[in-house]
């Protein structure tokens, strides 16, 4: 009888230890997979793309996504500080430097669209007539005629592109005509509309908001206005709070055939064209 009791006690203890170990493993895994922080540009939010694709990602993986929409420069800074799990941004040179510095694990192309220069209805300053597909010539005219121009002024991908285009002209814009907003794309478009000014915008955000704006496209289809987006999982060595597994799941899903197809379809029903063109690189 004593021997039987000893065996039963040992069995109970073994089951308890097994259950305890199983519980300890399950809980951290659930927390790790439960949610991720996506730091991304305002254009992916303001274009409506994230509202279109993220519910499907959550449905497929069970992972909730907390979106922090800021300029690309701020998004990269958040990644560097370990304040986000994964980035979806659009300033390729800065993204590659981010990975090279060890702040991100790897960078993948996801999709692209283009930038356009928009301005007052009817283009009274004649920018479109002077340079319909030459953004450098358009910027030169804006500067020479001191036409009102609203800049993002926020170190975003769009701002970085704008500064690069000004650099191509050899001009440093300054004076009352050049207004630095320090705001996201949607706010800058509204500001330009109210001021009857010109501004550089990604096409997707402009099309998504154009029904509430009087702004019209003045310059487009210049190869200098190509706009590539990339996804980068943050290096988990930054902090123990990085959800590396969740970030990898997001990257894998975004590059998948399903997500790429969704991206290719977004905007077609409303605008007759996709707002982004998928070009995933794995």
pLDDT tens profile 212-231: 999 999 999 999 999 999 99
Q: Do 182 and 254 sit in the same domain of this protein? A: no
Whether residue 4 is contained in a domain is answered as no
Parent domain of 122: 113-225
Number of domains in the chain: 2
The pLDDT-based confidence of 48 (bands split at 50, 70, 90) is very high
What confidence score (pLDDT) does residue 77 get? 96
Same domain as 238, residue 149: no
- What's the pLDDT at 281? 76
Judge if 108 and 238 occupy the same domain.
yes
Contacts of 29 (CB under 8 A, 6+ apart): none
Q: What is the rounded average pLDDT for all residues in the chain?
A: 90
DSSP string for 166-178? HHHHT----STTE
Domain-located, residue 29: no
Q: By three-state DSSP, how is residue 65 classified?
A: strand
Which of 185, 206, 225 is a domain's end point?
225
pTM as predicted: 0.83
Is pLDDT above 50 for 17? no
Is the domain of 213 the same as that of 127? yes
Same domain, 134 and 206: yes
The answer to whether residue 1 is domain-embedded is no
pLDDT of the residue at 80: 96
- In this structure, the answer to whether residues 143 and 246 fall within a common structural domain is no
Q: Answer yes or no: is 9 within a domain.
A: no
**Statement to judge: residues 161 and 63 lie in one domain:** no
> Can you give the CATH number for the domain in which 210 is found?
3.40.190.10
Q: Is 2 exposed, middle or buried (0-12, 13-18, 19+ CB in 10 A)?
A: exposed
- The stretches of the chain forming alpha helices (DSSP H) are 2-34, 42-46, 49-61, 72-80, 92-100, 127-130, 135-144, 157-169, 185-195, 203-209, 244-254, 257-265, 268-271
Compute CA 188 distance to the chain's CA centroid, rounded to the nearest angstrom: 17
Is the predicted pLDDT of residue 12 greater than 60, yes or no? Answer: no
Higher pLDDT, 98 or 4: 98
pLDDT at residue 62 above 50? Answer: yes
pLDDT at position 33: 62
99 within some domain: yes
Nearest 5 degrees, angle CA 202-CA 207-CA 209? 100
Same domain, 129 and 268: no
* Whether residues 54 and 191 fall in one domain: no
Q: Is residue 10 predicted with pLDDT exceeding 80?
A: no
**Is 121 a member of any domain?**
yes
Asked whether residue 122 carries a pLDDT value surpassing 80, the answer given is yes
Reported as a single tens digit per residue, the pLDDT across 18-35 is 444 433 333 333 344 689
- Give the Cα-Cα-Cα angle 136, 209, 129 (nearest 5 degrees): 35
- pLDDT per position as a tens digit, 135-161: 999 999 999 999 999 999 999 999 999
Judge whether 257 lies within some domain.
yes
Among the residue ranges 7-16, 50-59, 70-79, 144-153, the one predicted with the least confidence is 7-16
Check whether residue 243 and residue 144 sit in a common domain.
no
| Cβ within 8 Å of residue 144, ≥6 positions away | none
213 and 194 Cβ atoms separated by less than 8 Å: no
Count the Cβ atoms, other than its own, within 10 Å of residue 252. Answer: 14
pLDDT tens readout for residues 105-118: 999 999 999 999 99
The answer to whether residues 176 and 240 belong to one domain is no
Q: 198 and 159, same structural domain?
A: yes
d(CA 186, CA 183): 8
> Is residue 2 in some structural domain?
no
């Amino acid at each position: 009888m004593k021997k039987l009791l000893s065996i039963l006690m040992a069995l109970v203890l073994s089951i308890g230890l097994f259950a305890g170990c199983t519980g300890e493993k399950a809980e951290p895994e659930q927390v790790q997979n439960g949610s991720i922080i996506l730091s991304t540009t305002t254009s992916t939010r303001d274009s409506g793309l994230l509202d279109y694709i993220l519910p499907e990602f959550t449905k497929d993986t069970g992972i909730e996504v907390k979106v922090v929409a800021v300029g690309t420069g701020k998004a990269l800074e958040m990644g560097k500080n370990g304040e986000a799990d994964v980035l979806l941004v659009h300033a390729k040179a800065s993204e590659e430097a981010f990975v090279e510095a060890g702040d991100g694990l790897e960078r993948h192309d996801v999709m692209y669209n283009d930038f356009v220069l928009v301005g007052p209805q009817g283009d009274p300053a004649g920018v479109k007539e002077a340079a319909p597909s030459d953004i450098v010539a358009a910027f030169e005219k804006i500067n020479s005629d001191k036409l009102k121009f609203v800049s993002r002024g926020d170190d975003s991908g769009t701002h970085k592109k704008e500064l690069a285009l000004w650099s191509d002209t050899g001009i440093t814009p300054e004076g009352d005509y050049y207004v630095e907003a320090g705001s996201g794309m949607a706010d800058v478009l509204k500001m330009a509309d109210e001021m009857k000014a010109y501004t550089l915008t990604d096409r997707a955000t402009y099309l998504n908001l154009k029904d509430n704006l009087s702004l019209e496209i003045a310059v487009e289809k210049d190869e200098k206005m190509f706009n590539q987006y990339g996804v980068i999982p943050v290096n988990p060595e930054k902090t123990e709070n990085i959800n590396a597994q969740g970030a990898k799941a997001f990257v894998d899903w975004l590059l998948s055939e399903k997500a790429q197809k969704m991206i290719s379809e977004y905007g077609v029903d409303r605008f007759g064209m996709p707002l982004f063109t998928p070009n995933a690189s794995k």
